[in-house]
């Protein structure tokens, strides 16, 4: 079991890119200099004090009534108990959702009660908020059952006083730090022991462990190469910890040491990040990778009165604009790995990021998405973002609502290529099969028309223990056979750093993306070369597969995934209908037999995106050739496609 849990932690964190000793934060300030830069006594916080009702009315604006109404839903909330068996369920069956569902319900209640009290300021929500805080402080651990393997005793059952800082415990610590900052004096009016207890729990569960520990892998304490572990956990946890220190730490020396330690740790994330700024985990993770980096840098910027700032760094700007480039439109995004295709875009976060890196592109797309798909403020356990979202709400409207799809975007480090022509948008990837949140998908692609997927990347189902174990690639969504990729000589792609795309090229002028995917397959497949080339034109995408195989023993198969209704009855043509649009997948009828497989989606994480079913179109080669060239064309057959 220990081996399995260790694999779970390692698996989700591998990073693909060359490690560069940038150390940008350390260059901005050493420990001694940091002490002179930090703004003291939380004067960096730009929100009004709790008692400043006019200030909160101005800040909240139209969000005031919404926040109050959301908080009122929890005035009679029955605080839920996370039972011992809820923790044990993860070890016993791999189910993590039961524990997380109960826990998050309580945390959401606390956040909504807090925001309602800040909006109204009459004390009406105070007792129930104290109930929630007390309830949570009584928990043995603030960490998810799936992450308790970070304890010294491992497992998924919480051990008393073995405090683990993970994504959620960090979030809770940050949220409680904001609550303490704003309301500790109000709590004292009820009973001083409330604030005392709250401070004690933040200090003992977050501040002291962070200062004393180096064992949490996400800290990246001893990481100095690209073969070690750094991913979004690093900036996510550090952003939370930074807020805790800056909001509640009373000892100046401990404050400086704590903040500086976060700088050393986040530098490891920046050292691992590619210059091109792409997020290999996809848009679903952007908000908690580049987005959390932004949160961290913004808090540090505020806490030093702008004297420590990385917002002018080109890589940091590239990391922000990755999300605007990956937005296809109509709520669809380019998704690789564990990302979802129907993620939309956090336009408030994108706006704030764009404002700081001076990206008009990000500011305009934020305005565009707000106008086309407005969303209510999210009041979850991330109170920092809830406050920031409210503060920037009206600013976004000052920018033109524009979504301009770039004709060509190439990420040379991550090997992502985006191309657009007419109403078509293409996204392809190279990379290797040991990326963070990896799928075996080197060389895959997605094709969109009129801001809707035609050939798709399925994404990932609901996370379980199996998702992050050595059984991961028994899950169909992780396999190359369920991506837009060939099965070669009877073999799918394999998992591992050595299984990769080579000779990856992107040409802006000809709108082509090409690569050799032979090294993505096991040696037993006997593949000398498999050169795949994508060429995009106004109404079609040409896919060419030129191959050289030693001793072909099994006929090749070309796989294409779609959510449209597919008809393979006409030789040489697969008719695909999506809503009221029609497309064709053209192939050589003398070379292939088509097979259509319906895949029923019984996982809500997938069915909420694609509906109840998707289809795999397989073109099975009629002959076992050692060498050859396959050509397939995906084309629109509508008289005229117009974007929505």
The sign one gets for the Cα dihedral 483, 488, 490, 491 is negative
CA distance 243 to 174: 6
Is the pLDDT score of 72 beyond 70?
Answer: yes
Is the pLDDT score of 17 beyond 60?
Answer: no
Alpha-carbon Rg for the chain in angstroms: 26
pLDDT for 132: 98
- Taking each helix axis from N to C end, the angle separating 232-248 and 167-190, rounded to the nearest 10 degrees, works out to 20
Phi and psi (nearest 5°) for 254? -65, -35
225: confidence class by pLDDT, cuts 50, 70, 90: confident
pLDDT for 1: 33
Give 436 or 518, the one with higher predicted confidence.
518
Taking only the tens place, the pLDDT of each residue in 251-262 is: 999 999 999 999
Is the pLDDT score of 6 beyond 80?
Answer: no
Domain positions in the chain: 408-636
Is the pLDDT score of 9 beyond 80?
Answer: no
pLDDT for 282: 80
CB atoms within 10 A of CB 229: 21
* Mean predicted confidence (pLDDT) in 207-225: 95
Alpha carbon 147 to chain centroid, angstroms: 18
Is the pLDDT score of 145 beyond 50?
Answer: yes
16: confidence class by pLDDT, cuts 50, 70, 90: very low
Q: What is the CATH number of domain 408-636?
A: 2.70.98.70
Which burial class, exposed, middle or buried, applies to 314 when counting CB atoms under 10 A from its CB (0-12, 13-18, 19+)? exposed
Taking only the tens place, the pLDDT of each residue in 377-391 is: 999 999 999 999 999
427: confidence class by pLDDT, cuts 50, 70, 90: very high
Tokens (6 digits) for 348: 């408030």
Is the pLDDT score of 643 beyond 70?
Answer: no
Torsion over CA of 520, 523, 525 and 528, rounded to 10 degrees?
A: 80
CB atoms within 10 A of CB 407: 12
pLDDT for 639: 54
CA distances from 20 to 266, 519, 593 (A): 13, 26, 49
Closest CA to 319 of 275, 366, 365: 275
Mean pLDDT for all residues in the chain: 94
Residue found under tokens 């101005």: 58
Taking only the tens place, the pLDDT of each residue in 271-312 is: 999 999 998 878 888 999 999 999 999 999 999 999 999 999
The DSSP element (H or E) to which 634 belongs, if any, is strand 627-636
Taking only the tens place, the pLDDT of each residue in 95-121 is: 999 999 999 999 999 999 999 999 999
What does DSSP say about strands 424-429 and 416-421: parallel, antiparallel, or unpaired? antiparallel
């Amino acid at each position: 079991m220990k081996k399995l849990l260790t694999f779970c932690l390692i698996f989700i964190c591998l990073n693909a890119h060359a490690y560069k000793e940038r150390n940008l934060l350390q260059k901005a300030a050493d420990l001694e200099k940091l002490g002179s830069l930090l703004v003291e006594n939380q004067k960096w916080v730009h929100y009004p004090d709790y008692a400043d009702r006019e200030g909160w009315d101005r800040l909240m604006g139209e969000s005031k009534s919404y926040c109050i109404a959301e908080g009122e839903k929890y005035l009679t909330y029955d605080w839920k108990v996370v039972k011992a068996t809820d923790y044990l369920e993860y070890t016993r069956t791999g189910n993590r959702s039961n524990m997380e569902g109960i826990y998050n319900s309580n945390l959401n209640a606390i956040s909504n009660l807090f925001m309602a009290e800040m909006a109204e300021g009459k004390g009406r929500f105070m007792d129930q908020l104290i109930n929630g805080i007390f309830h949570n402080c009584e928990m043995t651990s603030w960490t998810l059952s799936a992450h308790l393997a970070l304890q010294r005793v491992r497992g998924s059952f919480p051990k008393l006083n073995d405090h683990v800082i993970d994504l959620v415990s960090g979030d809770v610590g940050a949220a409680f730090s904001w609550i303490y900052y704003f309301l500790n004096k109000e709590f004292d009016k009820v009973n001083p022991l409330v604030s005392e207890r709250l401070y004690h729990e933040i200090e003992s569960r977050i501040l002291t462990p962070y200062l004393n520990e180096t064992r949490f892998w996400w800290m990246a304490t001893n990481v100095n190469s690209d073969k070690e572990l750094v991913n979004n956990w690093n900036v996510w946890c550090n952003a939370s910890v930074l807020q805790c220190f800056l909001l509640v730490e009373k000892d100046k020396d401990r404050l400086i040491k704590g903040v500086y330690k976060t700088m050393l740790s986040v530098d490891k994330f920046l050292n691992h990040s590619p210059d091109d700024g792409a997020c290999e985990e996809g848009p679903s993770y952007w908000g908690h990778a580049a987005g959390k980096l932004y949160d961290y840098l913004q808090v540090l910027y505020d806490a030093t009165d702008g004297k420590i700032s990385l917002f002018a760094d080109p890589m940091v700007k590239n990391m922000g604009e990755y999300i605007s480039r990956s937005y296809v439109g109509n709520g669809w995004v380019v998704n690789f790995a564990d990302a979802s295709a129907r993620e939309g875009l956090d336009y408030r976060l994108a706006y704030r990021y764009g404002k700081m890196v001076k990206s008009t592109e990000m500011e305009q797309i934020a305005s565009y998405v707000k106008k086309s798909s407005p969303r209510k403020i999210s009041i979850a356990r991330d109170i920092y973002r809830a406050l920031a979202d409210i503060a920037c709400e009206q600013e976004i409207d000052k920018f033109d609502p524009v979504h301009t799809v770039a004709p060509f975007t190439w990420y040379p480090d991550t090997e992502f290529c985006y191309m657009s022509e007419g109403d078509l948008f293409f996204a392809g990837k190279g990379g290797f099969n040991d990326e963070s949140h990896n799928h075996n998908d080197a060389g895959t692609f997605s094709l969109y028309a009129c801001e809707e997927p035609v050939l798709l990347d399925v994404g990932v189902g609901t996370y379980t223990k199996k998702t992050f174990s050595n059984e991961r690639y028994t899950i169909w969504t992780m396999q190359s056979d369920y991506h837009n990729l060939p099965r070669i000589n009877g073999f799918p792609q394999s998992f591992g750093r050595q299984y990769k795309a080579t000779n990856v090229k992107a040409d802006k002028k000809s709108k082509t993306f090409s690569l050799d995917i032979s090294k993505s397959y096991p040696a037993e497949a006997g593949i000398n070369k498999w050169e795949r080339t994508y060429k995009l034109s106004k109404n079609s995408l040409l896919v060419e597969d030129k191959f050289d195989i030693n001793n072909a023993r099994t006929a090749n198969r070309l796989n294409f995934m779609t959510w449209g209704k597919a008809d393979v009855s006409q030789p040489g043509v697969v008719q695909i209908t999506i809503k009221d649009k029609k497309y064709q997948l053209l192939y050589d009828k003398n070379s292939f037999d088509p097979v259509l497989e319906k895949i029923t989606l019984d996982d809500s994480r997938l069915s909420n995106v694609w509906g109840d079913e998707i289809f795999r179109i397989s073109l099975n080669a009629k002959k076992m050739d050692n060498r050859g060239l396959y050509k397939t064309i995906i084309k629109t057959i509508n008289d005229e496609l117009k974007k929505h």
